[in-house]
Structure 1
Amino acid sequence: ENGRPEYWVGAHVKGHNSHSLGVCLVGRDQFTDAQLDSLDKVIIDWHIKYPDAEVVGHCDLDSGKNCPNFNIKRWMRIIQ
């Protein structure tokens, strides 16, 4: 499902919302293939629009969080 437009400030990571984009995967760590395919498409699209942006997980910005519950850096190497 679509979220807010990119130009709206999100509410995804306290202290980082005004200078970042966020993606929410519903399901804790039980993501469907369709969710992961959609995530691939969003990240690839954003990588084209924002080539210097770094992709990180919520847990990389807030040590009290575990999400996305997978290694985002390893996942990025796979989709690139």
Structure 2
Amino acid sequence: MSELPVAKAAPARLVVVVAFSRADNGELVPAYDPMQFDTPEDATRMARYLAAKCAGVLAWSREAQPVIGEYGPPTILFQSGDVPELE
């Protein structure tokens, strides 16, 4: 019996916005849970909105194949204020 080749899943694109506020001690802390969006445009729109309310906002995207644990490098879509280094 021959085995069928395993189809490699097409990469998905993660599009995420994270927002930060400052704790009483001055450290950056998440203002909200990370938000995932369907399009870079939607993420950028939300990040711009949050930029007026938060100490820092970052919208980013990356190719991802979570089933096999592969993630591409992040691409910053929008950044405002103070944000931690993106890994």
TM-score range, shorter chain: 0.3 to 0.5
Q: Give the strand-richer structure, 1 or 2.
A: 2
Q: Structure 1 length as normaliser, TM-score? A: 0.35
Q: Which has the higher contact order (CA 8 A, sep 6+)?
A: 2
Greater helix share, 1 or 2? Answer: 1
**TM-score, structure 2 length as denominator?**
0.33
